Amino acid sequence: MHEKALIDTAKALVADGKGILAADESTGTIKKRLDGIGVESTEATRQAYRNLLFTTEGSEDFISGVILFEETLFQKADDGTLFSKLLADKGVIPGIKVDKGAKPLAGSPEEMITEGLDGLRDRLKEYADAGARFAKWRAVIDITDERPTDYCIGVNANALARYAALCQEAGIVPIVEPEVLMDGENTLERCEQVTDRVLDAVFTELKQQQILLEGMLLKPNMVISGKKCGQQADVAQVADATLRCLRRRVPAAVPGIVFLSGGQSDEVATAHLNAMNKRGPHAWKLSFSYGRALQAPALDAWRGKPENIEAAQKAYFKRARNNSAAARGEYSA
């Protein structure tokens, strides 16, 4: 029933040279980020930080949408405008993180299951009324020699598809995010094998639950060596392995794939995206939905001081511009 609106929004989110800013850190995660720059996390400092990002002049040329945390969706900018309206007025689509975080999985407690389905239908109505046109749900999959189990992959894939179905019913584009973590000792090959299993399960569930593929986006990890692996794959190897995995598992009907950065340094995340787009054209748009890789230099420049806002905005603008170039395969360091 919302078919056309879903397709139009999904396409707009991956318009040429544009990607998404993930600014939806939960209260716990943003506290960690603010602690890192010596700023106490309060409603006021969180508002000040997000105000800085969203009012960066010219960022709308590179950023199609922003994922917000619930608190931010209902918060106002310094000039009294609701953040959702401020963004929409600049042509930036407001989105909302709707999952309630990853919790230990019963029966396999070292693995995680993402919660938040109870009451989601009603919450989505409220978010849509507040201006949100797309949403995000993140599943977290860890790699060890024995894990992930098929059980963990299966329940997370099922939840992602249930979330996606509820979003589409509400006219909200679901970003489906199954994140295979990059923290382990695993090789690139092992990451490819696990990412392949995960994407296979996710698209099987999406099909079973009748998701309109044209009206969603996939937000995957790149296929990458674990951080603690002695042998780190280079940019070309990451680009080739990631593309091989996506081509095998992601139907061409999906309009866009927007990567998470997952702890890669900001410049490496840009280089990887650029290398993949240089190998195009592809069946889907390949762009970014970065959190840390867009924000880290801005946070560092800001440090909670009003006199640093300009420098922080410059740093954010630069990351957005470079990733926009990478989304076109036109970035050079």
Q: Looking at the annotation, which residues are catalytic?
A: 177, 219
* Binders in 64-123 for ligand 13P, by CB under 6 A: none
Query: With CB under 6 A as the contact rule, which of the stretches 75-83, 197-205, 234-242, 260-268 interacts with ligand 13P?
Result: 260-268
Give the nearest distance from C-beta 23 to ligand 13P in angstroms. Answer: 9
CB 263 within 8 A of CB 234: no
CB 188 within 8 A of CB 145: no
What is the distance between the alpha carbons of residues 285 and 283, in angstroms, rounded to a whole number?
7
Radius of gyration of the chain (CA): 19
Q: Cβ 101 to ligand 13P, closest distance in Å?
A: 11
Per the listing, tokens 């918060």 go with 75
Contact 109, 99 (CB under 8 A): no
Q: How far is the CB of 198 from ligand 13P (least distance, A)?
A: 15
- Size (the chain), residues: 333
Contact 42, 117 (CB under 8 A): no
With CB under 6 A as the contact rule, which of the stretches 102-110, 121-129, 202-210, 289-297 interacts with ligand 13P?
289-297
Q: Does 262 bind ligand 13P (CB under 6 A)?
A: yes
- List Cβ neighbours of 239 (8 Å cut-off, separation of 6 or more): 272, 275, 276, 278, 279
Shorter beta-carbon distance to ligand 13P: residue 142 or 177: 177
292 vs 319 by CB, closer to ligand 13P: 292
Work out how close the CB of 293 gets to ligand 13P at its nearest, in angstroms, rounded to a whole number. Answer: 5
Total residues in contact with ligand 13P, by rule CB under 6 A: 10
Q: What is the DSSP letter of 287?
A: E
- Min dist CB 261 to ligand 13P, Å, is 3
The answer to whether 300 and 315 have CB atoms below 8 angstroms apart is: yes
> Is residue 290 at the binding interface for ligand 13P, with CB under 6 A as the rule?
yes
* H helix runs in the chain, sequence order: 3-13, 27-35, 43-54, 70-73, 83-89, 120-129, 150-169, 188-208, 235-249, 266-278, 292-302, 309-327
261 binds ligand 13P (CB under 6 A): yes
Residue 195 CA: distances (Å) to CA of 21, 23, 148, 181, 249: 23, 25, 10, 10, 10
User: Is the Cβ of residue 139 or residue 170 nearer to ligand 13P in the bound state?
Assistant: 139
Q: Are 102 and 114 in contact (CB under 8 A)?
A: yes
Residue 292 binds ligand 13P, judged by CB under 6 A: yes
Residues numbered 150-189 forming contacts with ligand 13P, rule: CB under 6 A: 177
Q: Which two tokens stand for residue 315?
A: 């740093």
* Residue 301 sits in the site that holds ligand 13P (CB under 6 A): no
- Three-state SS at 116: coil
Q: Which residue is nearest to ligand 13P (CB)?
A: 291
Is residue 22 within the footprint of ligand 13P (CB under 6 A)? Answer: yes
Quote the least distance from Cβ 306 to ligand 13P, whole Å: 26
Residue from 156, 291, 298, 319 in contact with ligand 13P (CB under 6 A): 291
Residue 263 near residue 182, CB atoms below 8 Å: yes
Residue 201 lies near ligand 13P (rule: CB under 6 A): no
| Stretch of 33-41, 53-61, 286-294, 320-328 lying at the interface with ligand 13P (CB under 6 A) | 286-294
Residues contributing to the site for ligand 13P (CB under 6 A)? 22, 138, 177, 260-262, 290-293
